Structure 1
Amino acid sequence: MTQNPFSTVITPLILLIPSIVSGYQLHYHDESFTPDVVLRVAATNISRACLDRYSVLVNGTSPGPELRLREGRTYWIRVYNDMDVQNLTMHWHGLSMAASPFSDGSPQASQWPIAPQHFFDYELHPDIGDAGTYFYHSHIGFQAVSASGALIIEEPEPAYEYDGEHTIHLSDLFEKTDDEIEKGLTSTPFVWSGETSNVLVNGQGIPVEPDTSSDGCSMATFLVEPEKVYRLRFIGATALSFVSLGFQSHNNLTIIEADGHYTKPFEVEYLQIGSGQRFSVLLRGKSQEELEQDRANGIDQYFLQIETRDRPTSLRSYAVLLYPGGGNDTSAMPASPPITLPNTTLGWLDYQLRPLTPNNFPTLSEVTRRVTVTITQIIDNTVVTWLQNGFPWTEKFPPMPYLVALYDDNISMFPSYDVAVAYGGMDDSTRTFPAKLGEVLEIVIQNTVEVGGILNVHPFHAHGAHFYDIGSGNGTYDLQENEERLKGTEPVRRDTTMLYRYARSGIDGAPAGWRAWRLRVTNAGVWLVHCHILQHMLMGMQTVWVFGDRDDVLRLGTPSVQGYLSYGGAAYGNSSRWPTCVHYWDDD
C-alpha cells in the first residue's frame, strides 16, 4: 500500500513504533503497513433473485469475497466503512478473539463501531486446530442480511481426503430495506419485518412465486465429476430462516465438521441449518453408469432443495448440481419438488455427533456452577422486547461497548461475581454474567411461551469460546435425566445450536424447551451470547458474559488501548490520519 485510499493528505503524527506497553506493541499503520486483506463496505442497490434492494455490500457483492486463512498465522484485515451515515463492524463468526479483544466486532460488547468514512484494522490469529468453516458479517443492525462472506481456515493436511470442495452460503432476501426493518422492530407501534422472500445460495436464486419472471437471474450451480468426493461447506448466514435441505438423488451425505470442529463421520440424508451454524459434508458423485441411466429417464441435472421451517409459511428454493455433459437450466425450478424433506427433527444430531479426536469434555463432577438464562418476551406500549432473566441488551444499552466501559471506569462497571452467584448468574446492575477463569459452567438456555401463546425457535451463538453442546429437550432442564442421555456420548464443541419449539402454542410465560452447554472458562474478555436471528437481536435477545477478574479482562492497561476507547479514536483511520493499533501477535 502506498497511500491512504481515502486521501493523499496525511496529518503528521508522532510515530509510536515499536513501543512496548503491557507486553504488547503499538504500531502506526502508515503507508509502510500493508494489510493482508482489504474489505470495502458500501450501501447500494443490487438485484438478487430478480429483486432490486438497497443493501450493504462487501467489495461490491453479496456475499462478500471468500477469505481463506491458514491456522497458526497472523492476519490483518482492513475494513473500510465507505458509507456516509451508517456505522459498521465486522465479526469473525466462530473464531475466538480472546488474544485481540477489540477485534471481535460486537459493538454492544467489544468495540466502538467503525464510523462512516473511517476504517479499522482487525487482527486475526487462527490457532492450530481452528481449521474449519466460518464466516464474517457485520454486527450492526440488520446489515448482516447482505454484508457477510465465507471465512475458511485451512490446515496443511485436511483430516479427511476429498477431490474438491464447494462453499454453500445461505442467506435471506427481504423486500424491505435494512432501515425499514430496524425502525419497524424498535418503533411504536411495533412493525414486523415480514418473512423472507427467498433463501439464496451464494447470493443467487430465482423468484419463488410461480408467476414471477426470472429473466436475468439464475440459481447457483455446483460442478462435480463422476465418482469424485467433494467437501461441501454449508454456511447458515440467514437472518431469520431455519432450513432443511437435501440433494435430489444424492442422499449419501457424511458430516465431517460442525462449527469449525472435525467430527467422526456421520451419515445423513438431509441437513438442518439455523442462522449461524456451519457444517461440512462429504458427497460422492454418481458413477457414469448411474448418470447414463438417469439421463435415459429424463434426469440430466440435480437440485439442491431448501425449505424453511418453523415459520408461519414454508418457503422452498433451489440450487443445481451439475455433471459434465448434463443439462444446465438454472432459470426454472422443477415442476414439482424432487425430494420430500422431513418436518423439523427436534434435537437433530443431539447426543449423536462425536469429535474426531478427544476434546477434553468436562464431566458433571467438574461443573462448578449452573446458570439458567430464561428467555421471555414483553409488550410495552406496542414495543416488543426480548428479555434474558428480566433484562434486554440492545444497541442502546449500555451507551458504549461494555469492554470500553470497563476500561473507562473499571471499578464501578465491573460486575460483582458474588452478587451474580447469589442471584442465579447475572449481576443485575450491569446486566452481565461474570465467571472466573478455570470455572466449568453449565449454561441452560430456557425457552418460554411468548406473548399471545406463540413459540419460536432460536439459534443461540456464543462469542469468545466454543462450548460443549450437551443436548436439548422439552419443558425444563432435568439434570439427572440428561446425564442418563449423555452416558456413552462424546459431546462436540460448537458455537451455535438450536433452541427448539416443541409446540406451536401454549400458555404465556410457560417453560417451552431448553438447550444446555458446558463451557470451560479459559478466554478472558467480554463476550456476547445471543440469538442469531437478526430481528431477535435487535429486539434485545442478547447477553454479555465477562470472563476473568479485573486484571484478566483489563490486562492491556488504559495507555496502550487509549485509541480504542472513543468513537472514531486513534485506532480508527480516516482521510486525515493513519490508525495506531495494538499488535497482539508478531509472527517471525
Structure 2
Amino acid sequence: MSGLWKSIAVLLGLAAASQGHVYRHDHSFQPDHILRVTAGTFSEACSERYSVLVNGSLPGPELRLREGETSWIRVYNDMTDANTTIHWHGLTAYTAPFSDGTPAASQWPIPPGRFFDYEVRPEIGSAGTYFYHSHVGFQAMTAKGPLIVESCEAPLYEYDEERTLLITDYFSETDAEIVDGLTSNNFTWSGETEAILVNGYSRPATNATGSCELAAISIDPGKTYRLRFIGGTALSFVSLAIESHEVFIIEADGHDTKPLMTDFLQIASGQRYSVLLKAKSEQELQQLDTRQFYIQMTTLARPEVLTNFAVLNYFSHSQLPDLTTVPSPPPLPVAELVDGWLDYELEPAHDNDFPTLDQVTRRIIIDVHQNVSDHTIWLQNGYDWVQSFPKSPYLVDIYTNKLNLDATYHRALTRGNGFDNITRTFPAKIGEVLEIVWQNRGTVDNGGLDAHPFHAHGRHVYDIGAGDGLYDIAANEERLRRTHPIQRDTSVLYRYRKETDVLAPSGWRAWRVRVTNAGVWMYHCHVLQHMVMGMQTVFTFGDREDILAQSGPVDAGYLTYGGSAYGSETKAPVVQHFKN
C-alpha cells in the first residue's frame, strides 16, 4: 500500500485513540512487510539444527525500502518460549524511538505470541546495503535477512543488474546451549565456525553427505553487476575473493565511496560492501574454457582456519553449474589477515561534513579486555553490559522519568572518562562532537587478544582510522591530512598480535560522531559470542527534553512489557505514528 493510500486508510478506517497521532492498527491496516519469527529444526550446511528463523528460512526475505519514505514492518513472535526483536542494522531510527529493536535499551522485546509494528523511515541519502536481525540472545545467528534501501534518484554508478550475497556461519549447538556455555561459571566456548554460508547455502567439505549445495551467483557475460556483500556472521571475520575477477568497491555501510579496485574483501560481522564486477565476455569464457568460478572465503584472526566456497556462474538455463564439488586444493591462495585493511584509503564519494579535530568537544577512551574470574566476560572500562542488567529499557525509563540523564552526565564527567558506572552508560549532550577511541588490551589471565567489529546504532560515525599500540592523537592527525574519512556503522578493532602482556595496549580504533539524534543507542562488538559475554555499551544522546522534543509525548502502550502497542490475534495494537 502506498504512503498516500495508507494515510487515507488510517484517517478513514482506523479508530483513533485520544492522542492525535495514535491509531489502532486493526484489520483495515495493512503493513508494507510482514516478518514472522519462528523456531524449529532447519537444514543448513549438510546438517540439521534447532534455529530461530524469519519466515521459515535462512536468510529471511529481502526487504526493499525507499529513502525518505515510511514503511510499516509487522514482526510476529510466533515462538512460545522466547522474546524477540528486529533491529534494522545500519539505519538510523531516531524518528521512531521504539523502532531500533534493542531490548533493554530502546524497547521492550516482543513477547511470545505477540507482534509489533515497526515504523522504519530511511533518511534521504541513506540508499545502500543493510540487513535486519534479531537482537535477543544468540538469535541473530539465523534470524536475519537482507535490507536494501533504494535511492529516490539515479544511482551514482551505472550497472546492469545487482546480486545480494548474505554471508553467515554455522554452529551445530543450539542458541540456548551456546548462551548457557558462554555465561555459566563452567565456561564453555561455542567452538569455532563449522561452515561459511552464502544466502543460506554451503557444502563444507569434499566428503560431505546429503544434498546440500554451494551457493550459485548467476550472471550473464559482458554485463556489469553490483554485488552487495553483507557480513551477517555470528563470529567469522572473512576474507573473500572471486577467482579470476577483480572488483571496484563503491559502497561501505550504506555510503557511496570513490571507486577503489581490489582483488579481495575483508568482511567482518556487521559490515557491508557493494562492488562493481564487470562480467567476462563470451570470448573470454571460451578462452578460459570454463563458465564457473569459485568465490573463496577464509576465516581470519581465529585459532582455526576454515575455507569455504560459493560459485560465480555463467551457465545458461540449459547448462547447470557443478554445485557439489568443493575444490581441493583451493583455487586461490589461502588468505591471511591484513591489519588496517582500507584504513585511510577508502574515501567518500560526496562531501560528508567531516568534523575536524578543533570541533571535537570530548574524547572518550574505552579500554576493552577480557577478564576471567568466576566466569569469563568482556569488559569496557572495567564493566560488562548484558540485556539483563537494566530492569527496564533505558528509553522507557527516560519517558517515565525514572532515569535522570542530567545526573548520569554529571557522574560521567566527574569520573573523567565519560562513563557513568551506576547506569553503565556513556551520556552526551546534543551539539557535542565526540571522539571515541576503542583501545584493545591483553586479557587479564594470559594477555590474549581478539579482533572486534564494533557497531554503532543510530547516527553513523566518522571512522578516523586505526593502529597498533596506544592511540596517538598527533600521529593520527598527520595521517588524516592526506585522506577524507568515510562514515560507517561497523569497523574493526584489530589485535595486531595473538597475545601480549596482561592489559598491555595492542591496537586501537577511533571514531568521531556528531551528537545530533537524541535517544538511546547501543555501541557494541558485533560478534554474538562477545555480546553475550558482556561486550556492549550504551550511549545516551541528549537530555529528556531533547528526546521529548524529537518524538513528542508517547503512548503508554510502549512503556510496559506486552503493553497495548504490542498486538495479538485477539487484540489490535494501539500504535503511534511518529513520522507521517
Please give the range of the TM-score, normalised by the shorter of the 2 chains. over 0.9
Deviation at 1:561, TM superposition (A): 2.8
Given that 1:130 and 1:260 are in contact with CA atoms closer than 8 Å, whether structure 2 keeps it comes out as yes
The yes-or-no answer on 1:317 pairing with 2:312 is no
CA distance in 2, matches of 1:103, 1:280: 26
The yes-or-no answer on 1:396 pairing with 2:383 is no
| Aligned counterpart, 1:64 | 60
| Aligned counterpart, 1:130 | 126
Q: Report the TM-score, using the length of structure 2 for normalisation.
A: 0.95
**Alpha carbons of structure 1 residues 134 and 557: separation in structure 2 relative to 1, 3 Å:** closer
| Aligned counterpart, 1:545 | 539
The yes-or-no answer on 1:181 pairing with 2:150 is no
**Residue type of the partner of 1:172?**
D
Which one of the candidate residues 559, 562, 569 is aligned to 1:568?
Answer: 562
CA distance in 2, matches of 1:557, 1:73: 18
Deviation at 1:52, TM superposition (A): 0.3
> Once the two structures are superposed, what CA deviation does each residue of 1:508-549 show, in whole Å capped at 9, x if it has no partner?
211111000011111100000000000100111011001012
**Residue type of the partner of 1:201?**
V
Which one of the candidate residues 270, 295, 300 is aligned to 1:304?
Answer: 295
Correspondences of 1:159-308 after superposition (within 5 Å): 159-208=156-205, 210-213=206-209, 215-250=210-245, 252-295=246-289, 299-308=290-299
CA distance in 1, matches of 2:407, 2:333: 51
CA distance in 2, matches of 1:59, 1:411: 37
More displaced stretch, 326-335 vs 360-369: 326-335
Given that 1:134 and 1:260 are in contact with CA atoms closer than 8 Å, whether structure 2 keeps it comes out as yes
Which one of the candidate residues 480, 487, 498 is aligned to 2:474?
Answer: 480
| Aligned counterpart, 1:19 | 19
CA distance in 2, matches of 1:62, 1:168: 12
**Which 5+ residue runs of structure 2 have no aligned equivalent?**
2-13
| Aligned counterpart, 1:9 | none
Which one of the candidate residues 142, 149, 157 is aligned to 1:146?
Answer: 142
CA distance in 2, matches of 1:573, 1:327: 46
Q: What secondary structure, in the 3-state scheme, does the structure 2 residue paired with 1:506 have? A: coil
Which one of the candidate residues 50, 64, 73 is aligned to 2:69?
Answer: 73
| Aligned counterpart, 2:325 | 332
Given that 2:551 and 2:578 are in contact with CA atoms closer than 8 Å, whether structure 1 keeps it comes out as no
**Which 5+ residue runs of structure 1 have no aligned equivalent?**
2-13
| Aligned counterpart, 1:352 | 345
Q: What secondary structure, in the 3-state scheme, does the structure 2 residue paired with 1:422 have? A: helix
More displaced stretch, 80-89 vs 400-409: 400-409
Given that 1:436 and 1:549 are in contact with CA atoms closer than 8 Å, whether structure 2 keeps it comes out as yes
| Aligned counterpart, 2:401 | 409
Which one of the candidate residues 48, 63, 72 is aligned to 1:52?
Answer: 48
Deviation at 1:413, TM superposition (A): 6.4
The yes-or-no answer on 1:366 pairing with 2:359 is yes
The yes-or-no answer on 1:501 pairing with 2:501 is no
**Residue type of the partner of 2:122?**
P
> Once the two structures are superposed, what CA deviation does each residue of 1:120-161 show, in whole Å capped at 9, x if it has no partner?
000001111010000000000000000000000001311110
**Alpha carbons of structure 1 residues 117 and 179: separation in structure 2 relative to 1, 3 Å:** same
Given that 2:95 and 2:550 are in contact with CA atoms closer than 8 Å, whether structure 1 keeps it comes out as no
| Aligned counterpart, 1:102 | 98
Q: What secondary structure, in the 3-state scheme, does the structure 2 residue paired with 1:144 have? A: helix
Q: What secondary structure, in the 3-state scheme, does the structure 2 residue paired with 1:484 have? A: helix
CA distance in 1, matches of 2:550, 2:559: 12
Given that 1:270 and 1:341 are in contact with CA atoms closer than 8 Å, whether structure 2 keeps it comes out as no
CA distance in 1, matches of 2:320, 2:34: 38
CA distance in 2, matches of 1:430, 1:376: 20
CA distance in 2, matches of 1:194, 1:493: 33
CA distance in 2, matches of 1:281, 1:255: 4
> Once the two structures are superposed, what CA deviation does each residue of 1:191-242 show, in whole Å capped at 9, x if it has no partner?
111111101000001123x3332x3110111111112110000000000000
| Aligned counterpart, 1:158 | 155
CA distance in 1, matches of 2:128, 2:474: 34
CA distance in 2, matches of 1:85, 1:558: 34
**Residue type of the partner of 1:551?**
E
The count of aligned residue pairs is 563
Q: Percent identity?
A: 54
CA distance in 2, matches of 1:373, 1:41: 35
Coordinate RMSD, CA, aligned = 1.6
> Once the two structures are superposed, what CA deviation does each residue of 1:57-98 show, in whole Å capped at 9, x if it has no partner?
101101100001111100000000000001000000000001
**Residue type of the partner of 2:514?**
R
**Residue type of the partner of 2:216?**
T
Which one of the candidate residues 63, 78, 91 is aligned to 1:82?
Answer: 78
Deviation at 1:19, TM superposition (A): 2.7
Given that 2:379 and 2:534 are in contact with CA atoms closer than 8 Å, whether structure 1 keeps it comes out as yes
**Residue type of the partner of 2:158?**
E
Deviation at 1:342, TM superposition (A): 3.4
Runs ≥4 residues deviating over 4 A:
411-415, 556-559
Given that 1:246 and 1:341 are in contact with CA atoms closer than 8 Å, whether structure 2 keeps it comes out as no
Q: What secondary structure, in the 3-state scheme, does the structure 2 residue paired with 1:483 have? A: helix
Q: Report the TM-score, using the length of structure 1 for normalisation.
A: 0.93
Deviation at 1:408, TM superposition (A): 2.8
**Residue type of the partner of 2:382?**
G
CA distance in 1, matches of 2:208, 2:312: 23
CA distance in 2, matches of 1:259, 1:435: 24
